[in-house]
Amino acid sequence: MSPNQPGQPKLPIPGVRNLIAVGSGKGGVGKTTVAVNLAVALAKLGHQVGLLDADVYGPNVPLMMGINQTPMAQGERIQPLRNFGVKLMSMGFLNPGDKPLIWRGPMLHSVIQQFLRGVDWGELDYLVIDLPPGTGDVQLTLIQTAPITGAIVVTTPSAVSLEDARKAIHMFSQVRVEILGIVENMSYLIVPGTNQKLDVFGSGAGKRTAESMGVNFLGEIALDPEVRIGGDTGQPVAMRNEGDPRADAFLQLARNMIARLDSIGPQVGPKIEITD
């Protein structure tokens, strides 16, 4: 992998102020769940939000956001769909059903470009990008062509998940993408009918990893059947009223991310200079 050279400008996406990549080392750690609920929480806080499902081989955003229609084109541009106040684009809208896509590098590259620049995102405070798991082609294409404001790395507290999360963090820092922080998902389980926390995967290990790597910790999300049901039924828990512990956890995560973006101030926004 060749790190981005300074002076190699990445074209901003007009109207999009912050591009937030949500990544993980492993699949199944709750990356899409976090991306979806973070986007919904940001919209609830009154921001203009888009969610781009860059997991072109395994797009789960349509299911988790409870919408699956064919997007319309207007002129040259694809109109994003919209649900829960979030603008949406996913390969799942264009290739519905269970047929897998079999694409290689150049096709992948062009579809990512289409999603970033051929979609009429309009004015957005945040465009959240749900990356596929790992450190492969899609991630590199995105990182090398889009002015990503910062990356969030989702992990469970288990050692195997953290091992891969560390790789993802190294990938982002190697290509000079700011790490906004680690989210520890599936931190613990509240034993039903009690207040007792059951430590399933080793609660707290995400935070310790963040500290040891010198990156920010953005928060923890409990392992909770309601979160899974929200995903499976297209009713993200972040939509629930204030006072619901799941909704509150994602709102807090959104606030922590915004605070972190504020703290890196000068990096935020379409600040990239284009030299012709």
Which residues in the 80-119 window bind ligand ADP by CB under 6 A?
A: none
Please pick, from the candidates 60, 90, 139, 209, the single residue that binds ligand ADP as defined by CB under 6 A: 60
116: Cα within 13 Å, side-chain hemisphere:
28
Q: Which is nearer to ligand ADP, 42 or 253 (CB)?
A: 253
Please pick, from the candidates 82, 170, 228, 271, the single residue that binds ligand ADP as defined by CB under 6 A: 228
The rounded distance, in Å, linking the Cα atoms of 107 and 91 is 13
Residue 203 makes contact with ligand ADP by CB under 6 A = no
Please pick, from the candidates 83, 146, 224, 254, the single residue that binds ligand ADP as defined by CB under 6 A: 224
In 3D space, the residue among 53, 62, 57 whose CA is nearest the CA of residue 101 turns out to be 57
Give the type of residue at 269.
Answer: G
Long-range contacts of 227-234, Cβ-Cβ distance < 8 Å, separation of 24 or more = 227/30, 227/33, 227/37, 230/37, 230/64, 231/32, 231/33, 231/36, 231/60, 231/63, 231/64, 232/63, 233/66, 234/63, 234/64, 234/65, 234/66, 234/67
Which tokens hold the place of 191?
Answer: 């034993």
Q: Which is nearer to ligand ADP, 164 or 178 (CB)?
A: 164
Residue 135 makes contact with ligand ADP by CB under 6 A = no
Distance in Å, CB of 243 to Mg ion, minimum: 28
> To which residue do tokens 């450190």 refer?
135
Give the type of residue at 175.
Answer: V
Q: Which is nearer to Mg ion, 148 or 261 (CB)?
A: 148
Which residues in the 52-71 window bind Mg ion by CB under 5 A?
A: 60
Distance in Å, CB of 114 to ligand ADP, minimum: 22
Interface ranges with ligand ADP (CB under 6 A): 24, 27-33, 60, 133, 185-186, 221, 223-224, 227-228, 231
- Contacting residues toward Mg ion, per CB under 5 A: 31-32, 60
